[in-house]
Amino acid sequence: MGIWHLDMSAELVGTGSPVMDLVAHADDNLVLAQILGAWISNAPELEEDIALGNIALDHLGVARALYTRAGEIEGKGRTEDDYAMRRTEREFLNLLLVEQPNGDFAHTMVRSLFFDAYQVELWDGLSRTDDETVTGIAGRAAKEAGYHLRHSSAWVVRLGDGTEESHHRSQDAVDGLWRYTGELFEGPGRVSRDQWLGTIQNVLDAGGLRVAEDPFQRSGGRKGFHSEHLGPLLAEMQWMQRSYPGLRW
């Protein structure tokens, strides 16, 4: 049972209200933090272990601040933990992109590149909203997203322009993940596809990679319709709270 199923029909789950929009952005960051965390101790080099751990922490921190703010606006006494640990898969509003599996390192970096370029624009827009708390969180996150983008861009260029094998795997990642990028521009938040595409195009060009040709796009994450990968991720992440409801450290 998830928190919203108690007071809301499943059809109403989706973005479009201040609370849901903040929760959707928080969900992106929480899910990506969880998925990136799986690289720790498995990254190709020690510096990458540290880098991905740090990036995951940034995402987690943003998620926590946004959930807390959403709870304040919703006014039902919900905490960051209620949103993170007590909602079902159907109630999560994250983008399909961030729940896609880590795959190989090229897939992880291309996924991050697509998302980082989106977040740079997203936070820039949100840092000029009327809600001061959101403005502050977004202002902070904007700088971090820029830092993340430098990291993912540098890797995609290096892998794309590296060996035949790394090039092939990177192009495979671009082709495989491209179908989840259309959803980035469906809102909430005003993110220009042209600007995003310009950023991506520059990076791909520098790495000798090309934009995917297949126009097929998938979406639904913002309405709570997810790919098969989110369920297992949540099952693992929420296991403790589901087994021992209300458990505190």
Partner 1 sequence: MDAAQLPGVEVVSRAPALDVDLAREVAGGVVDPEIPVLTVADLGILRDVSWEEGRVKVTITPTYSGCPAMRQIEEDLESALVAAGFAEVQVVTVHHPAWSSGWITAEGREKLADFGIAPPLPDGEVLCPRCRASEPQLVSRFGSTACKALMVCSSCGEPFDHFKEY
User: Given the rule CB under 8 A, which residues bind partner 1?
Assistant: 47, 50-51, 53-62, 65, 127, 132-133, 135-137, 139-141, 143-144, 147, 150-151
Report, in Å, the least distance between residue 159 CB and partner 1.
Answer: 17
Sequence letter at residue 169 = R
CB-wise, 48 or 121, nearer to partner 1?
Answer: 48
Report, in Å, the least distance between residue 134 CB and partner 1.
Answer: 8
Report, in Å, the least distance between residue 203 CB and partner 1.
Answer: 16
In three-state secondary structure terms, 128 is: coil
CB-wise, 84 or 177, nearer to partner 1?
Answer: 84
Tokens of 166: 């790394």
Query: Quick one: which of 105, 101, 122 has its CA closest to 32?
Result: 101
- CA-angle at 235, arms to 229 and 236, nearest 5°: 95
Tokens of 18: 């201040």
- CA-angle at 28, arms to 23 and 29, nearest 5°: 95
Region at 28 (left for phi over 0; alpha for psi -120 to 50; beta for the rest) = alpha
CB-wise, 54 or 238, nearer to partner 1?
Answer: 54
Q: How far apart are CA 43 and CA 137, in angstroms?
A: 29
CB-wise, 13 or 159, nearer to partner 1?
Answer: 159
Q: How far apart are CA 181 and CA 95, in angstroms?
A: 9
CB-wise, 112 or 219, nearer to partner 1?
Answer: 112
- Number of residues that this document lists for the chain: 249
Report, in Å, the least distance between residue 197 CB and partner 1.
Answer: 25
Report, in Å, the least distance between residue 179 CB and partner 1.
Answer: 29
